[in-house]
Structure 1
Amino acid sequence: MDERQSLPEEPQRNEWVAILVRTLVAVLVLGGGYYFAAQYLGGRVPNGTQVEGIDIGGLSPEDARATLDDRLDDMATEPVTIDVEGDTVQIAPEDAGLALDLDTTLAGITGVSYDPSVLWDRVVNEGQDLPLEVTVDRADLEKAVQGVAQDVAIEPTEGEVWLNMGEVKSTESADGRELDVPATSDAVEAVWPQTTKVDGVVTATKPQLAQAEIDRFVGEVAGPAVAGPITVEVDGEKSEISTKQIARLLTITEGDDHTLSLDFDAEGVLEIVSGQLEEATVSPQNAGVVLDGGSPVVTSARVGQVVDEKALLEEVNKAIKKEGEHRVAKVGTTEVEPDITDKDAAAWDFSQMATFRSTFPGGASNADRTENIRVGLGHLNGTVVMPGDSFSLSNELAPITHERGYVDAGVISGGRLVKGIGGGLSQVSTTVLNTAWNAGVQLDEFHPHSYYIERYPVGKEATIAVGQLDNRWTNDTDTPVVIQTWIEGSDIVMTFWGDKKYDVDTVTGQRTNYVQPDVKTDDSENCLPQSPQQGFTITVTRILSQSGSEADRQSYTTTYHPSDQVTCTG
């Protein structure tokens, strides 16, 4: 057998070319599929991927974002509740700078890769849970928290301590609270949006007056202060300050450092002690002057024996801290000279400085007016104006009430004569003015009537309206001025006793600028008939001289309104 005929035949060249072509085609097909698979898988979220439990595997990035945006809308907009020890407030995420960041959440989850292992993982992997990313505008967050902080804040309670009926009373101080805005903002930022209820962080706000200070003061100071009466012994004579009196005399003071202390009413202590120890204490008495038998008589001064105030307060402050029988304050008395001594009074020189008479209308029709004059003069008679002091007619006559003895009579109101309480006191005021004018004392204030009344000195007359118009002068001499006044027939008589410094001259000018009155009728029940009187302007000058030389000159110009003729028809 021929061995060459049994060997296989070598493939022909064309067959090798076909195999090569088929192989190349297969490679191209597989490569194209691999390419397209890589492109497809790279444009899809890997299977099994979740965000906050929402499956977005296999979705395009655009669809995944839209899905998350829709499904997480409630989470992104639900108000954040801040709980502060049981009190709650809410803030809106959109107002607090809180927002979901879906772009960052999905960043890098897709992308083309030709790495076989990456492609294989994308096909067979069960996926992953992506963390939900957020953005926080810290300034807006703190602003929103600050906006609700006041709603949960509690002001601290300031305790008080007071004394009542001899006992110490108090209320407690208590801490307040306020929201710690930065720390609470941290708490919100740490859990949002997975958690929308957080515990607010608070800080305690302290009262200015600490409870410890109240306890100290009550226990160590105020309580012992009213624990019992205090015996005061002055030169062997005893008196007692009761616990109720002690409580009334004490004032609780809170210092700038918010500590409490007790202050004693020094005058109150002396008043109580002086009232109970009349034999041991005598008040000083100034030398004075009174009317006696129609002329001024000097009264003697008296040296006082009074408790040493400083020593008394020191001893009482010591006794108040003690207990039982040891609560005793022993002090002596000291002599107190009067402010005005007999030596001072010896320099006084009394004579009649000036006397003035003012005639008033009498009769039954003017009885009420006359009664007001009598009552007013009664309040003035014997009045003493010390050197340098000022006299106020309003102060001496007031209050103008029925209880003081005044009655209703004619008064000028709005340029008309009407009924009013105290009618007639303007004649008393005019008498005071003219006596002071002629006595040469310093004139401070007077107000003429609105229209001229013929029985008064023109330009030298004065009305009075307590609280509005006064009649004042000052004693500018070195001797007291004593007012003596009475009614003689239909005259007011007034004398100033004292030491006259100046001679007085009066120059009365001409009447000018006349204005004619109107004629009116009045049917009202309180109408009073009124005679006509022209209006005019006049100037009166007072000239003060001393030893023949002019010392002062003062002019007073008055414009009187016309007084209408009024006929009552009612």
Structure 2
Amino acid sequence: MRKSIKIMIILLLIVALGTSGLYAYVNYNTKKWTSLVYPGIKIGELDISGKTLVQAKDMVTQKYQSTMLKKNVNIKTPQKTYSLNFAKMNAKYNIDEVVNEAFNYGKNLSLYEKYKLIRKSEGKVITMKFTYDSKPLTDLISNMKKEINSTPKNASIYMNGDTFIVTPDTKGSTLMDDKLKKEILSKLNGDVSPADISVSAEIKTTLATVTKEKLQTVNTKLSSFSSDFSTSAYGRSTNITLATKSINGTILMPGESFSFNDTVGERTADKGYQPAPVDIGTKVSSDYGGGICQVSTSLYNAILRSNINSTERNHHSIPSTYIPLGMDATVDWGNLDYKFTNTLGYPVFIESIVNNKILTFNVYSNSSLANKSYTLVNDIYAAVQPGPTQYIDDATLPVGSIVQEQFPLIGYKVRTYKNTIQNGNVINRELISNDSYQLKAEVIRVGIKKVK
């Protein structure tokens, strides 16, 4: 019995000593990893097993952060390459966070779990997060736009004597900035490769609306129309001259529209326009720009004779002295306009000239259009004489005085046609307008105020 007890005690002592020895062994082999990263731990592709916190941070910083800060974003254009360093974008990885995570991995386990993890690590890969400030990239692309973007310049045409001189057009360019930024941002993904990011910027070429090749098709005069304002006083003559000059050199590409008011602009004293007689309804008054209806009328006649009809045209309420009935075109800023669209298929060049109080519009385009000519004829199909003069007593006028309030107006109805002539024959007649001019009896105010 005593022998059995002794054996039992010896066995227990052996077990106790073995357990104590095992614990000491496990504790020893685990404790030495207390200040080290456990085996099998990687940050990205970098194995930092057995490294202290400081060593691990230095290794990660050297391999990733230092390498990444040497990288550039290179944007290639046909003229130059623009570069932006990662450091200027404050590009960085969350190194402190991931190194601490790697260092602390497994440290919260029990002693034997730690030992097992150290003895037979299954490995652990920790991924870094990459951040940057996109503003420097936005600023770079904005500066690129300032250098690259340009507006195309239209060709121009002018006459030197009887010769057309055409200056060439220039192309414009537009950086496709949104597409460029999107492509760059898609590549700023924290790739640990030391290679730069390189992209080619797309630059769109923009063409001028009016090109030299198109303007060179203008080579012949299609029509001309002149009117005389030699009897006009200074104010009216000044207005006609100013308005005419503002139209000279107008170019209309095929399908492009012309507005008299948009081209000439508002008739103001600041622009040099003078007060002059102007038809308002059935009366004559005075206003800035009076007389320029002779300009719009002359242009209307020249344009019709080049085979371009109007899209907006208004006739006067009363007949004009400088043009046959049905062939006038009145304008009024903000109210009445004269408009047309180039329907010829070629550019149109308008030349306007004032010489010795003769106003002339010449319309030029391609010679292929000159095989026909166009004339205007009117048909006055009604002319009604005004009734007898109306006399109105006016107590504001002294006895014996008279004032003509309304001059007599014959009422006209007139149709205007455009004849197409080829080889001396009228091959077509087109109704252009059907106008009515107001009928008005003469009105005279008679003074009845007695003078004391």
TM class by shorter-chain length?
0.5 to 0.7
1:294–1:368 distance in 2 versus 1, CA, 3 Å? farther
Secondary structure of residue in 2 paired with 1:497: strand
1:550 and 2:427 matched = yes
Would you say how many aligned residue pairs link Structure 1 and Structure 2? 304
Could you tell me whether the CA contact under 8 Å between 1:270 and 1:309 is conserved in 2? Answer: no
Kept in 1, the 8 Å contact 2:384–2:410? The answer is yes
- 1:276 equivalent in alignment to 2:146: yes
In structure 2, the partner of 1:454 is 321
Trace 1:425-504 onto structure 2 (pairs within 5 A).
425-499=292-366, 500=369, 502-504=372-374
- Report deviation, 1:376: 0.9
Query: 1:311 is paired with a residue of what secondary structure?
Result: helix
Counterparts in 2 of 1:535 and 1:399: CA distance versus 1, 3 Å: same
How far 1:539 sits from its partner (Å)? 1.7
Q: Name the counterpart of 2:166.
A: 298
How much does 1:544 deviate? 2.6
Aligned equivalent of 1:308? 176
AA at the equivalent of 1:385: L
Change (3 A) 1:420 1:455: same
Asked if the contact 1:452/1:535 (under 8 Å) is kept, the reply is no
Q: Do residues 402 (structure 1) and 269 (structure 2) align?
A: yes
* 1:415 CA drift (Å): 1.4
Kept after mapping to 1: 8 A contact 2:419/2:426: no
Q: Give CA deviations for 1:98-154 in whole Å, capped at 9, x if unaligned.
A: xxxxxxxxxxxxxxxxxxxxxxxxxxxxxxxxxxxxxxxxxxxxxxxxxxxxxxxxx
Is the Cα–Cα contact under 8 Å of residues 418 and 528 in structure 1 kept in the other structure?
Answer: no
Q: Quick one: which of 371, 382, 389 aligns to 1:512? A: 382
Counterpart Cα distance in 1 of 2:141 and 2:418: 48
Q: How do 1:526-541 residues align onto structure 2 when only pairs under 5 Å count?
A: 532-541=408-417
* Alignment partners' CA distance in 2, 1:453 and 1:337: 45
Return closer, same or farther for 1:318/1:368 CA change in 2, 3 Å cut-off.
farther
Q: Which has the higher contact order (CA 8 A, sep 6+)?
A: 2
CA distance in structure 2 between the partners assigned to 1:233 and 1:404 by the alignment = 50
> C-alpha separation between the residues in 1 aligned to 2:390 and 2:188?
78
3-state SS in 1 of match to 2:166: strand
C-alpha separation in 1, matches of 2:350 and 2:335: 24
Distance across 1 between alignment mates of 2:249 and 2:386: 43
Look up the SS of the partner of 2:223 in the other structure: strand
Given candidates 357, 363, 366, the residue that maps to 2:226 is: 357
SS in 1 for 2:380: coil
Q: Which amino acid aligns with 2:363?
A: F
Question: 1:397 and 1:305, CA in 2 relative to 1: closer, same or farther beyond 3 A?
Answer: closer
* One of 263, 266, 285 as aligned partner of 1:418: 285
Residue 494 of structure 1: how far off its partner (Å): 1.3
Give distance in 2, aligned partners of 1:294 and 1:520. 59
What is the match of residue 383 of structure 1?
250
Matches within 5 A, 1:202-241: 235-236=79-80
Provide the rounded CA distance (Å) in 1 between the counterparts of 2:206 and 2:151. 8
The CA deviation at 1:382 is: 0.9
Per the TM alignment, residue 319 of structure 1 is displaced from its structure 2 partner at its CA by 11
Residues 339 and 390 (structure 1), Cα distance of their counterparts in 2 relative to 1, 3 Å cut: closer
Residues 505 and 342 (structure 1), Cα distance of their counterparts in 2 relative to 1, 3 Å cut = closer
Normalised TM-score (structure 2): 0.56
Q: Which moved more, 1:422-431 or 1:528-537?
A: 528-537
Q: Distance in 2 between matches of 1:407 and 1:270?
A: 53
1:549, CA displacement in angstroms?
7.1
Structure 1 residue 565, shift from structure 2 partner: 5.4
Measured against aligned partners, the alpha-carbon deviations of 1:289-322 in whole angstroms (never above 9, x if no partner) come to 3344465432323334442355345358779999
Amino acid aligned to 1:311: K
Q: Which residue of 2 aligns with 1:559?
A: 436
Secondary structure at 2:235 match in 1: helix
Q: Deviation digits for residues 35-91 of structure 1, max 9, x if unmatched?
A: xxxxxxxxxxxxxxxxxxxxxxxxxxxxxxxxxxxxxxxxxxxxxxxxxxxxxxxxx
Between the aligned partners of 2:270 and 2:244, the Cα distance in structure 1 is: 16
- The 1:374/1:337 distance shift into structure 2, 3 A limit, reads closer
CA contact (8 A) 1:408 1:421 kept: yes
- Aligned pairs for 1:146-157 (under 5 A) are none
Mapped to 1, the partners of 2:428 and 2:272 lie a distance apart of: 42
Tell me if the contact between 1:379 and 1:397 (Cα under 8 Å) persists in the aligned partners: yes
Change (3 A) 1:506 1:273: same
User: What is the CA–CA distance in structure 1 between the aligned matches of 2:185 and 2:212, rounded to whole Å?
Assistant: 37
Aligned residue in 2 for 1:124: none
Task: State the shift of 1:463 in Å.
Answer: 0.8
User: How far has the Cα of 1:509 moved from its partner?
Assistant: 1.6
> Distance between the aligned counterparts of 1:568 and 1:239, measured in 2?
86
Distance change (3 Å), C-alpha of 1:362 and 1:528? farther
* TM-score between both structures, scaled by the size of structure 1: 0.45
- Cα distance in 1 for residues equivalent to 2:185 and 2:231: 65
1:535 & 1:489 partners in 2: Cα distance?
34
The aligned residue for residue 10 of structure 2 is none
- The CA distance in 1 between the partners of 2:209 and 2:380, in whole Å, is 49
Q: Give the aligned residue type for 1:544.
A: T
- Preserved CA contact (<8 Å) 1:232 1:273: no
Aligned equivalents of 2:75 and 2:276: distance in 1?
Answer: 56
Quick one: percent identity of the two aligned structures? Answer: 22
Q: C-alpha separation between the residues in 2 aligned to 1:317 and 1:416?
A: 71
> 2-side partners of 1:451 and 1:350: how far apart?
39
CA contact 2:273–2:289 (8 Å) conserved in 1: yes
Cα gap change, 1:453/1:565 in structure 2, threshold over 3 Å: closer, same or farther?
Answer: farther
Instruction: Tell whether the 8 Å contact from 1:232 to 1:239 is kept in structure 2 after alignment.
Output: yes
> Are 2:176 and 2:201, in contact at CA under 8 Å, matched by a contact in 1?
yes
Q: Which residue of 2 aligns with 1:176?
A: none
Distance 2:295 2:152 in 1: 35
Structure 1 unaligned regions, length at least 5: 1-229, 241-268
Report the counterpart of residue 261 of structure 1 in structure 2.
Answer: none
Q: Is the 8 A contact 1:373 1:428 kept in 2?
A: yes
State how far apart, in whole Å, the 2-side matches of 1:275 and 1:362 are: 57
SS at match of 2:323: coil
Give 1 or 2 for the bigger CA radius of gyration. 1
